[in-house]
Amino acid sequence: MDDRSSGKLKAPGINEITVISATAALFVLVWLVYDRVIGTGGWRIYQGQFRQLQREKLKVKLKNAESRQSTALKKLAHAPVNADFSRDESTLIDSLKRQVNEVDSRPAVIEEIVVSDLHGRHVDRCTTCHQGIERAEFSGASRLVFRAHPDLDGLLKHHPVAKFGCTTCHEGQGSDLDARHGPILKGRMVESSCVRCHENAPLLTGASTAAEGALLYQSKGCYACHQVDGSPYLTANLGFVAPDLKSIRSKVQPQWLATWIRSPRKVHPRTLMPEFGIKNAGLPDQESVQLASYLLKVSGDAPLSAQAIVYGRTNQATPLSVARGKELFEKRGCLGCHDLGKNRTAAPRHSSLDGIGSKVSRQWLYSWIEDPQKMSANTLMPKFALKPDEIACLADFLSTKRKDKLEYVKCDSGDMTLAANIEAGKKLVGRYGCYNCHSIPGFENNNQKIGPALTDFGARDPIAFSWGKKKNVVPRKERNWYTWTIAKLKDPKVFETRRIKKIMPHFELTTQEIDKIVVFLKSLTGHQTVSSQNLARIKPGQADSIAGRQLIYQYGCTGCHSMYDETARAPSEDKSLPCQLRGGALAPNLSGTGARVRSDWLLAFLEKPYKMRPYLTTSMPTFHFRNRDDRTLVRYFQATANSAAHFERGGQLERAATANAEAGKKIFAGHLCASCHQLNGRQLPVASKLRWYHNMQFARRMAPDLADVKEKLRRDWLVRFIENPPLLIPDTTMPYMALTSEEAAALASYLDSAFPKTVSKTAN
């Protein structure tokens, strides 16, 4: 009879019990191996290996100490031994033995750091495995897991692990103990997290990558299409990024315009304008013609000056005028922002003039050089103090820079007057968002950004990103925020599908530029979650410093001027050493300008500059500052008055005491200051019978004019500079005259009282 029919179950046999037991044992064994080697138990192995490293280092120190003590004892019979030395060695040996015993007896434990005041309450267990993170002796550890954190005396001094943990800056899954940390911020990417706690993040030393990425974001014109709110890296009010197109038909030929729209980089390889359409091919000819048709239809006439019209009708270029124009181009500061297809300029927003003669007419060039603001109110190009004949020579020279082998778009003159092309062109302007960068008639009231807002882009989940259909672009296992962003910046159309068309143009970014922009984009989280107790709030003047740096970049000041970059140094770096010098060499170094000159004089000079250094062939042009940017720049120099490293070597300035001007007059004459300096362009008398002092024309060209000393220079700075010129300005040609502080103050008093001043405008 079957047991199941009687309601009874058959007891498992011995073989079945054996199989079940073996399976359970195997499962437990596999779990233990995974837990210790692969899973969360791996931390025990790491701690054991770290204890072994510690033990080896301590035993090496112990062996050396015992060897020194043994050597000292052997010499005891021949010469007296320093008792203090022997005691110190014995104390050191006892201490090392105790440390070895402590390491041997230390149990394996999970280390936790509870961070409750930063970005919400969270637990970090990172130091469970990363045992050497704060130990300087492990700075050169071969294994990364045991290596000490870089810059222990800088970053970790101000951000102790016990208070801030690791994930506050590095992100990741700090509570997990397996080898999978989750996506963490490494290397320069860590700088993107500074903004969460520091309102003054753009000014932090040793964390300049995000700020440089923001400046690239600004110079490439990304802000024109993408809205970013709340980022301290973008605080300046920036205008249009590209030229005004309201009078484009008076500027260029129709066929050239269509060719330019199709592929700007084929016309100018280093142009700032990106390439729409297919990479290295551009837009289809039909779309290029349609866009050009609309722009030419709505365009008005350029406000050419009367002199430009006369020049275009009567003046003819000659080899002499072209040569003179080339000389002016090279010596009057044009190379600060422009190149002719050869060497790239130092300006962050350079503009290549290679082939400019094929683009615009000679009379348009003349009128533009004469007064750029009159031709286009949105331009950032300043007005230079040029004579009519100099303007004509420059226009003659630039007109010779042609590209005769340019492959033009094939179209008839009548194609650009067709109503269908004009209407289609208007739709394309709206589709590609041309109005975001250019001022275009018909789109004056369209303030909508063509691209998505990026205010919280750094915090977005990559699951929501469109990865396209190309599986080989980013393999599925490697898909995360970083790989998507890098791939998108390298090729904006990489994730395009038949249904989803991407309109973002190609910027031809370098790998270095992409890395910096990615750090900046990762900093865009949309909000700060740090508690008010730990928030490093911005200090008075720092907002002006941040906005001023953006304006210096926007107006291209570093195309001509150089500046010391304080943010490029590490926090622990010696500040008495000069930091990195960036910018051009056509004009004086601007570092420490706020400490050197008076604010009211600087504001007046920015609004109406004049030539003050006879030795320079270049002179400061007149900028058309918008949004009261000139006042922001003045406040920037005030806020950074004592920040330059070369200035800090001399210490902070103090108010100089008044001194006897008569004594200063004797010093001025005795040291033959008039042999180098002029007054309002006039040579001053030199009180010397030596003939060679009266024949120093070169020296007089090398020194600044002494007019407006009292109105221009701060008295405290002037005294310190006279006392030791190279200390404040290392590259100055002013010699060290070994004057005492009292003599320097007397000479400064004489300069203040003896020379006339000009009228300056008071800064707000």
Q: Rounded distance, CA 196 to CA 525, Å?
A: 8
Q: Give the helix/strand (H/E) hosting 678.
A: strand 678-679
Q: Give the helix/strand (H/E) hosting 122.
A: strand 122-124
The residues pairing with 582 across neighbouring beta strands, listed in sequence order, are: 563
Give the global pTM.
Answer: 0.78
Q: Which two tokens stand for residue 310?
A: 């006369």
Positive or negative, the Cα torsion across 697, 701, 702, 704? Answer: positive
Q: How many CB atoms lie within 10 A of CB 706?
A: 21
Q: How many CB atoms lie within 10 A of CB 719?
A: 26
Q: How far is CA 76 from CA 63, 65, 79, in A?
A: 20, 17, 6
Q: Rounded distance, CA 111 to CA 127, Å?
A: 6
Contacts of 188 (CB under 8 A, 6+ apart): 209, 515, 519
Phi, psi of 189 (to 5 degrees): -65, -25
pLDDT at 285: 93
Q: Rounded distance, CA 716 to CA 718, Å?
A: 6
Q: Rounded distance, CA 378 to CA 372, Å?
A: 9
pLDDT at 645: 38
The residues pairing with 113 across neighbouring beta strands, listed in sequence order, are: 124
pLDDT at 35: 52
DSSP assigned state of 642? T
Instruction: Report pLDDT digits (tens) over 454-504.
Output: 999 998 988 889 888 776 788 888 889 999 999 999 999 989 888 888 889
Residue corresponding to tokens 């107790």: 533
Q: Which two tokens stand for residue 549?
A: 């740096």
Contacts of 16 (CB under 8 A, 6+ apart): none
DSSP assigned state of 216? H
DSSP assigned state of 373? H
Instruction: Report pLDDT digits (tens) over 520-572.
Output: 999 998 865 555 656 677 777 788 888 888 888 888 888 888 887 655 444 44
pLDDT at 522: 94
Q: Rounded distance, CA 613 to CA 69, Å?
A: 69
Q: Which two tokens stand for residue 400?
A: 């010779």
Phi, psi of 134 (to 5 degrees): -115, 20
Backbone Cα Rg of the chain: 35
Residue 232 in contact with residue 216, Cβ under 8 Å?
A: no
Helices first, then strands: H and E counts in the chain: 31, 8
Measured N-to-C along each axis, helices 254-262 and 285-298 cross at an angle, to the nearest 10 degrees, of 130
**Residue environment code for 4-43, b if the CB has 16+ CB neighbours within 10 A, otherwise e:** eeeeeeeeeeeeeeeeeeeeeeeeeeeeeeeeeeebbbbb
Q: Of 550, 535, 505, 572, which is closest to residue 282 (Cα–Cα)?
A: 505
Q: Of 108, 227, 88, which is closest to residue 177 (Cα–Cα)?
A: 108
Instruction: Report pLDDT digits (tens) over 562-617.
Output: 887 655 444 444 444 445 567 777 788 888 888 889 999 999 999 999 877 766 67
Residue 192 in contact with residue 183, Cβ under 8 Å?
A: no
Q: Rounded distance, CA 575 to CA 517, Å?
A: 28
DSSP assigned state of 34? I
- Give the Cα-Cα-Cα angle 411, 414, 419 (nearest 5 degrees): 110
Q: Of 155, 130, 134, 153, which is closest to residue 143 (Cα–Cα)?
A: 130
Residue 224 in contact with residue 241, Cβ under 8 Å?
A: yes
Give me the half-sphere count of Cα atoms (radius 13 Å) on the Cβ side of residue 386: 27
DSSP assigned state of 332? T
Q: How many CB atoms lie within 10 A of CB 74?
A: 10
Residue 687 in contact with residue 672, Cβ under 8 Å?
A: yes
Through-space distance between the first and last CA atoms of the chain, rounded to whole angstroms: 110
Q: Rounded distance, CA 284 to CA 276, Å?
A: 10
Q: Rounded distance, CA 195 to CA 231, Å?
A: 8
Residue 63 in contact with residue 42, Cβ under 8 Å?
A: no
pLDDT at 753: 78
Residues lower than pLDDT 50 in the chain: 1-9, 36-39, 568-578, 643-657, 689-690, 692-694, 696, 699, 758-764
Polymer length in residues for the chain: 764
**Residue environment code for 466-502, b if the CB has 16+ CB neighbours within 10 A, otherwise e:** ebbeeeebbeeeebebbbbbebbbeebbbbbeeeeee
